[in-house]
Every structure is written in C-alpha cells, then in structure tokens.
Amino acid sequence: MEWPSYLDEYEKLVLRMTTPRVMIDNAGCSKTTRITIDSARKPGILLEAVRVLTDMNVSIKKAYICSDGRWFMDVFHVTDQNGNKLTDDDDLNYIKLSLSTIHYGSSKGFRDLTALELTGTDRLGLLSEVFAVLSDLQCNVVESKVWTHNGRIASVIYVKDCDSGSPIEDPQQIDRIEGRLRNVLKGDNDIRSAKTSVSMGVTHTERRLHQMMFADRDYERKPIMRTSGDSPLVTVQNCLERGYSVMNIQCKDRMKLLFDVVCTLTDMQYVVFHATVNTAGDLAYMEFFIRHTDGTPISSEAEKQRVILCLQAAIQRRASLGVRLELFMADRKGLLADVMRTFRENGLNVTRAEISTIFREKGLNPTGDTAENVFYVTDASGKPADSNIIESVRQKVGMSNLIVKELPSINHQATERDEPTFGSGGAVLLSLGSLVRRNLYNLGLIKSYS
C-alpha cells in the first residue's frame, strides 16, 4: 500500500492497526442493505463515510452513529434510488474498498482540470452570459454544478483549453477569465459581493458549493419563493449534564440529505458524537449530539439561532425547484452557451444545473463526446414554467435531445422497526442514555433497549 507522504512511521503503524472494518449485510434486513463501519475515531471520518455513500447515489433509510471515546462505529441501512437492496457485486466491492480507506480522505475533485468558482446575485440569463464568456475565451466546460438559494448563486465549473485539452495554467489567461466573469457577475448592482476564483480542481464539488454559499451568508438572506411548509424544522437544546448540544431535524426526505447536514456541521467546526437517522413516509427525522471541536456545547442563544439558520439553508440549497430538463446530445464547442441563450430568450431561469461530459476515449478529445446535462428551470419570477414555452425550447434545441423528466422521488418503502422521532407538538428529545442503548440494540450488541 502506498502511504501519504506526510505520515511518519508511527502514524503508518497506527493506521495499519486501526484500518476501518467494513461489513455489508444483505441477509439481516428484508428491505435494506446494512453497512457497518468500525474504526478508530478520526476528525472528519463521519463526513467521509457519508460522502462515499452519497457519491454512489444510495438512499440512506436509517443510520446509527456513535463515535465517542477513541472509536467510531456506524450502521447505515441503505437502498438504491428505486428502494431496492444493493445487489451489484461491483458496487458493493467499491463501497467496501472506499469505506475501508476513508482514513486517507478523498477530494473527489478533478485534478487534471481548472476549477472556476463563482458566487454572486442570481438573475435571469446570468448562466447564459457566463457560458458565453467561457466559450469566447476558448474554455471547454467539462463538468459543472450550479446551485441557487435565497437570490444567490454559487457554481463550480471545471474547464480545459479548447485547443490543447490541457488545464488552463497561463497566468494572463487566468486573469482574463477572472476579470470577464467578475464583470458578468457584478451586472449593474452587485459590485461588492460578486466573487470569482481559479484553482486546480481538488475539492469535493458539492462540499465546496456548501462552503461557498456559507461564506456568502446565504442563510441570512430573505427566503425567495418558499412557503412555510418547505422550511425544515430544526431545534437545538443543550444537554448540559452530558456536555452535548442536542439537535433535532424534521424535513422532507431526499437523496444526499445526510451529507448536506453533516457537511455543514463539519464546516461549522462541530463534531457529531452520536446520531440517529430514520425515515417514515416522505419525511426524514434526524437527531445529533454535537460539540464544538474544543469539546464544549453551544454556548448562547444567538449561536443556537445561527446553527438553525445554517442547517435550514444547507437542506434547502439542493432543493429541486422547477421543471427538470435533461439534455443528451453530441458535445460541441459552444453547446452550453447556445442552450443557455435559448433558455434566456424564452424567459426560463435555471435554478440548479448538473453538467457533465462523457468521453468516448479516455485521455483523448475525439468527436463523438456526449453532453449529459440536467437543468431545473422556472419562469423569470420563480414560478412553474409554462408548458408551451418548454415545448418551444425543446423544438429549438431538439425534441429528442432535451427531455422533460419528472422530479426523481425516493422510494419510501417501510423499513424495519420504523419509529416516530417527532411528535405532533414538535421535536421530542431523547436522553443520551436512550440514544446509546438504541444504537447498541441496532448494532446487535444488546437484546433490548427498552
């Protein structure tokens, strides 16, 4: 095994002795695959474990997390997006290998591409202008994710030079790209908050989007086009006798929900010591026992309110507002700019986007590469787009290339021993002893937690 260069011999010995033990069980539960991880405790290990599952697009139905003391022990009950057990041997082996090496961390970035990071005020046609500028500057967009929330936009765009197919490293070209994009983001009234940066793509994209929007303080801005029913219920109380802050969340269940919550807590310098996650119907219930990285609980009412706002924002950023359009067609220079211009000319606003390029021959840049893009669009005011306008756009782009898709929903089959976590009167806090006993019961280490 090749060890990271920054480890000394003692650290390598410790890692050899404490390599995570991963068990995947498809027999113990009738409707879910159970994944158990035992490991020495390490900062960020929970986020890495959840990231592995998130990147495999599995749905986490239940989870039991315990990382007090020097040991880390988690159980995840998962399914695929259709609510079925995971049965593909290649997928199971990949998950097991990835979880067994989470001590080393993983960026899940794009090291051979140049990463552009953009934040600013969202407006109709902004992405059309961004991609038009990149096309004009001979930048080929290979991958990109775009989020909008509370009137703000954050995007990570991975590009390479159109002619050479190499990362863009020339300082003068980078300065031109940053300057042009900053002018686009500023528009007429966003002089101070528009930001652009260029780096090599070595950061997990979705974690970076959370960090960018958090730094942009999107959680403090007035919500746009949301009803009270969309807002997650988050409560925070202190369990002072145990030295924890206890956080409960109730919200609509969706893919990657746990990652968004754990990512935000980690980046806010909180450590999760114990947690339970459960789903019932289309709702998710989560309870976390947390402390600051220095071992202290949340200390003030103002800090509690900030945590609540930040977690609500983290849950809502990935919300899929609008009509889902999927674009599949042969890639070409300027394709994204043309498609985005068509959206803008027809009054469609892109609220979220996932852009990717599938190469026919790895390492080369042949003709025949395929663009596989997903867009969520609304009208200019944020309301559902008119179906006639959608059809008009499809005719211009290509009826067979641009497809309207229903929003993907999680299959909510009942899991074993589903239990309500919140009562009708609000969040019901469990005692630490009850939480630990429940975790031990679900780990199979005791016969009853009642």
Instruction: Report domain extents, the chain.
Output: 9-106+231-315+413-442, 110-221+321-405
Which is more confident, 39 or 86? 86
443: tokens are 């780990």
Contact 371, 351 (CB under 8 A): no
pLDDT on residue 109: 61
Q: What topology is assigned to 110-221+321-405 in CATH?
A: Alpha-Beta Plaits (3.30.70)
CA distances from 155 to 54, 199, 316 (A): 19, 13, 16
Give the H or E element holding residue 211: helix 205-215
pLDDT on residue 192: 61
Burial 376-405 (b: 16+ CB within 10 A, else e): bbbbeebeebeeebbeebbeebeeeebeee
pLDDT on residue 280: 92
CA distances from 206 to 23, 184, 289, 433 (A): 27, 23, 24, 35
What end-to-end distance do the CA atoms of the chain give, in Å? 45
**pLDDT at residue 18 tops 60:** yes
**Alpha helices for 216-273 (secondary structure H):** 257-267
pLDDT on residue 6: 62
Conformation bin of residue 147: beta by default, left when phi > 0, alpha when psi is -120 to 50:
beta
- pTM, whole model, 2 decimals? 0.85
**pLDDT at residue 257 tops 90:** yes
The amino acid at 330: A
Which is more confident, 69 or 115? 115
Burial 284-307 (b: 16+ CB within 10 A, else e): bbbbbbbbeeeeebbeeeeebebb
- β-bridge mates for residue 140, sequence order: 160
Contacts of 1 (CB under 8 A, 6+ apart): none
Half-sphere exposure of 57 (CA within 13 A, CB side): 7
Burial 158-175 (b: 16+ CB within 10 A, else e): bbbbbeeeebbeeeebbe
Mean pLDDT of 266-290: 95
pLDDT on residue 444: 45
Separation of alpha carbons 57 and 40, rounded Å? 26
Query: Angle between the 257-267 and 301-317 helix axes, to the nearest 10 degrees?
Result: 140
pLDDT on residue 432: 44
SS3 351: strand
The percentage of residues in the chain with a pLDDT greater than 70, rounded to a whole number, is: 80
pLDDT, tens only, 206-248: 999 999 999 999 999 776 555 444 689 999 999 877 899 999 9
Q: Which one-letter DSSP state was computed for residue 200?
A: E
**pLDDT at residue 447 tops 90:** no
Conformation bin of residue 376: beta by default, left when phi > 0, alpha when psi is -120 to 50:
beta
Token pair 């290998």: residue: 97
Which is more confident, 296 or 429? 296
